[in-house]
Amino acid sequence: MSSPAGAPIRLEAVDLGYTYAGATPTRALENLSLAVRDTEFLAVLGPVGCGKTTLLRILAGFLRPTTGSVRRDGAAVEGTSLQIGYVFQEDAVFPWMTVRDNVEFGLVARGADPAARRAVSDELIGLIGLSAFVSAYPKDLSAGMSKMVEVARVLATDPSILLLDEPFGALDAQTRARMQDELARLWERRRKTVVFVTHDAEEAIYLADRIVVLSSRPGRVRADFPVQLPRPRSQEARFSADFSALKRRVWEALG
């Protein structure tokens, strides 16, 4: 099992606050601080509406924090970065592009030549088991397949930091468990720094090295749990005593 305790800090949020302006201003985040170390898999867990997505969008550079600051590799974050891959909560695969064109989009943006793009997309599409669907449009894919295409599209550009916003939120329990395994497998092959936002305690425990629990709005860090289950984790791990014990503690922290 990796122990990134001594690894350098990749992403750091200091005293982060965010208020949505409007007729009734909404404080989404307040005094939130957290640090993510290199190759660490961090899960951010919290109830619906606690500002998890806001936090992730700020980390990605889509939003500018109202107060506080975000540092990436020690430097202040300004806008989006090629270092960061972002998997959205919504369906974000481009419906007018085939699976291959979706996966290659980031490489096209970087001006990679067609042969190189093809090599990468072939490998990734194979890795997510969709080789038979390279020329299919997203409308012919299931929700789970479509999500994996999005993950592959993000991995294609090989970002060192992955931000995932409840990527499997819209899937049924079985598919979701399968997707979690796929993601864990991908992550074990290509170690990245990951921030995974979810409201599902079990998902957080199954995937992460560390879990940060947020309070409800305005979101701040309420608890911080290391997950010391051995890797690679199998479905059996979900029924182990350690897993259940941790789940109980996390549930209590969620309140």
Residues 6+ apart with CB under 8 A from 234: none
State residue 212 phi and psi, 5-degree precision.
-110, 125
Rounded to the nearest whole angstrom, what is the least distance from the CB of residue 111 to another protein in the complex? 10
Nearest-approach distance from CB 253 to another protein, in angstroms = 31
226, two tokens? 């290391």
* Helix, strand, or coil (residue 169): coil
Comparing CB distances to another protein, the nearer of 62 and 240 is: 62
- Least separation in angstroms between CB 37 and another protein: 22
Q: Which two tokens stand for residue 62?
A: 């889509």
Residue 125 and residue 161 in contact, taking contact as beta carbons nearer than 8 Å:
no
Helix runs in 172-254, H state only: 173-189, 201-207, 241-254
Q: Are 181 and 144 in contact (CB under 8 A)?
A: no
Min separation Cβ 147 and another protein, Å:
13
Bridge partners of 41, per DSSP, are: 194
- For the purposes of burial, counting CB atoms within 10 Å of the CB of 138, is it exposed (0-12), middle (13-18) or buried (19 or more)? buried
Q: How far is the CB of 251 from another protein (least distance, A)?
A: 31
Q: Which is nearer to another protein, 41 or 86 (CB)?
A: 86
By CB under 8 A, name the binding residues for another protein. 60, 62, 80, 82, 84-86, 88, 90-92, 94-97, 105-106, 108-110, 137-140, 150, 153-154, 157
Task: Report the side by side order of strands in the sheet with 75-76.
Answer: 26-37, 9-20, 67-72, 75-76
Minimum Å distance from CB 120 to another protein?
13
| Comparison of 110 and 248: residue with beta carbon closer to another protein | 110
Nearer to another protein among residue 58 and residue 154 (C-beta): 154
Q: How far apart are CA 9 and CA 73, in angstroms?
A: 7
Taking the least distance from each CB to another protein, the nearer of 133 and 225 is 133
Q: Which is nearer to another protein, 161 or 201 (CB)?
A: 161
